[in-house]
Amino acid sequence: MRWGILGAAKFAREHMGPAIHAASGAELYALATSDPAKAAGFTAFAPQLKVYPDYDALLADPAIDAVYVPLPNHLHVAWSLKALAAGKHVLCEKPVAMQASDFDGLEAAAKDAGKLCAEAFMIVHHPQIIRARDLVQGGAIGTLTHVDTVFSYNNAGDVTNIRNKPETGGGGLRDIGVYTFGAARFVTGAEPVSVPYAHIRYENGVDTFAQVAANFPAFTYCAVVSIRMQPRQEITFHGDKGFLRLTCPYNANLHDVAQLVLENDGQRVVTERWPAANHYVLQVENFVTSATTGAAYPCPLAFSRGTQVMMDMVFDAGGPPHD
């Protein structure tokens, strides 16, 4: 499957571009950017890469089968729709949309085009979170009572970063909060019924800290998300007979090694690690398989819509933006 990338984003250059290049069944074929200097970062590892001066020119190339969209958040829906209209499969960076209602158009366009459109939510492709899902849903910790998670980093000094700009859909919740919501939903298979509390701090119109409490049908949930704190990430699933903890659930083997710790009421501790798994490569390979064979994709738009519904609930609970 030949891939094109819309825009020479830093994340695409450092992670998804190399992942497409390395993935089985995928070929990094083209890049659209008007900046030759940015293109050089991609041709350094993919010298055969075709470089187009604009996004429309790349979409017009009939040789391209799939498009990866790493553009700023507010452009995701529009360019995903354009790529689908051009007959391409689409893997769009998270969050694929800015509100849950945006999914209606994406799902309809993907159906009309007969193409796969999905959010690049790489964590669900990693064996650690699949293992966590199997253990939790299989009763390894008894009846699940509570989930708590934290994800933070500090980009206060990077004032030009799109994550610090409200006009591009920036903010911590859309950037990394999406993982804290989606991970809980994926592992438990449950959906939130209410968000009774969300304390959100804003700077210049962008959310930089959020403390969230949610109710699921059979358990409670809390999360801390910030782009103004020392880097930290963890998620714990706590049951009446044990708990399961992922110590690096969101940037596996980048922030730290992917590790799962399971402790039950007999004080038996089981630690599993995945030092070599690359969820970006696994994501591309699963996408290729689903797009070419029709096999179910691990993160369909319906799942991503559910995460966006929770995101919308959190913003509603937090009230209007205020500095």
Percent of all residues in the chain with a pLDDT value above 70, rounded to a whole number: 100
pLDDT at 206: 96
> For residue 267, what pLDDT band results from cuts at 50, 70 and 90?
confident
| Residue 322 pLDDT exceeds 90 | no
Contacts for 82 with CB less than 8 Å, ≥ 6 apart: 55, 56, 59
What backbone phi and psi angles, to 5 degrees, belong to 237?
-110, 115
Segment among 215-224, 248-257, 283-292 with least mean pLDDT: 248-257
Q: What is the mean pLDDT of residues 249-273?
A: 90
Instruction: Kindly state the helix (H) or strand (E) to which residue 99 belongs, with its residue range.
Output: none
Q: Which of 94, 111, 165, 241 is catalytic?
A: 94
- Residue 32's Cα: distance from chain center in Å? 22
Angle (nearest 5°) at CA 142 between 138 and 147: 90
For the chain, list the domains and their CATH numbers.
Answer: 2-120 (3.40.50.720), 123-277+306-318 (3.30.360.10)
CB 51 within 8 A of CB 45: no
pLDDT at 254: 83
Q: What is the mean pLDDT of residues 167-173?
A: 96
- Annotation says 165 is catalytic: no
* pTM, entire model: 0.96
Cβ-count burial 152-186 (b if 16+ within 10 Å, e if not): bbeeeeeeebbbbbeebbbbbbbbbbbbbbbbbbb
d(C-alpha 20, C-alpha 22), whole Å: 5
Percent of all residues in the chain with a pLDDT value above 90, rounded to a whole number: 93
pLDDT per position as a tens digit, 3-34: 999 999 999 999 999 999 999 999 999 999 99
Q: Encoding tokens for residue 118?
A: 């999905």
> For residue 295, what pLDDT band results from cuts at 50, 70 and 90?
very high
Q: What is the mean pLDDT of residues 280-297?
A: 98
